[in-house]
A and B are shown apart, each in its own frame.
Chain A
Amino acid sequence: AQKVTQAQTEISVVEKEDVTLDCVYETRDTTYYLFWYKQPPSGELVFLIRRNSFDEQNEISGRYSWNFQKSTSSFNFTITASQVVDSAVYFCALSEDAFSGSARQLTFGSGTQLTVLP
């Protein structure tokens, strides 16, 4: 069965600090997708990134970067120069069987509450 673990329940940083959110996953599939979602205080789920299991290149998007390491089953998320608006709950998620032709269900981690203090 698939499982996503986000060991950090809460993280608090001061604005402009860099912060890394950890995500470790378990799956028996060789093909899968990994995701990060942001949930601001308003409650909606905001898609941040999707990464398939065959693409281990790290990705950078503005202040956000992701480090995918298959060897350690990790997909960590780093925010550089954090801002108060980054305060939210961040969820890592896994979807197995990425090449079945159908979009399968997501298994979410328990989330990390990030608080960025001014």
Chain B
Amino acid sequence: EPEVTQTPSHQVTQMGQEVILRCVPISNHLYFYWYRQILGQKVEFLVSFYNNEISEKSEIFDDQFSVERPDGSNFTLKIRSTKLEDSAMYFCASSDGSLNTEAFFGQGTRLTVV
């Protein structure tokens, strides 16, 4: 069964450093998403991406965040200057955009900022 793949599974970074979280969505999917889950809290929407541009973003997705689809398969989330409060599980998801569909989630990347 096709799946969304995220790398790395766990990343530790120093405050102020840039990190790039990588995702390989399901190959025929057109819509891509990033969600964040701070430990013990709910899953929160960050951004959606379609046709090589952001279609929606939340208040959390400020100027320190960016997304990119650098090639035909990868979808990345960059955090320019990490803060302690960026520590969270980051989930990538993708969907084909058809009416009766759900988003498929990757297994997540746990980001720890120290």
Q: Which residues of A contact B (CB under 8 A)?
A: 33, 35, 37, 42-45, 47, 50, 52, 91, 93, 98-99, 101-111
Contacts and interface: CB of A to CB of B under 8 A. Distances in A.
B28 interface: no
A109 to B, nearest CB: 6
Contacts, number: 59
A93 B89 CA distance: 18
A111 B89 CA distance: 15
Interface of B: 31, 33, 35, 41-45, 48, 50, 55-56, 58, 89, 91, 95-97, 99-108, 110
Contacts of B45: 105-107
Is chain B's binding surface mostly helix, strand, loop or mixed? strand
A42 B108 CA distance: 10
Is chain A's binding surface mostly helix, strand, loop or mixed? loop
A103 B48 CA distance: 9
Contact of A91 (B42, B50, B55, B108): B42
Given A43-B108, A45-B91, A105 B56 contact: yes
A73 B108 CA distance: 30
A44 B107 contact: yes
Nearest to B57: A105
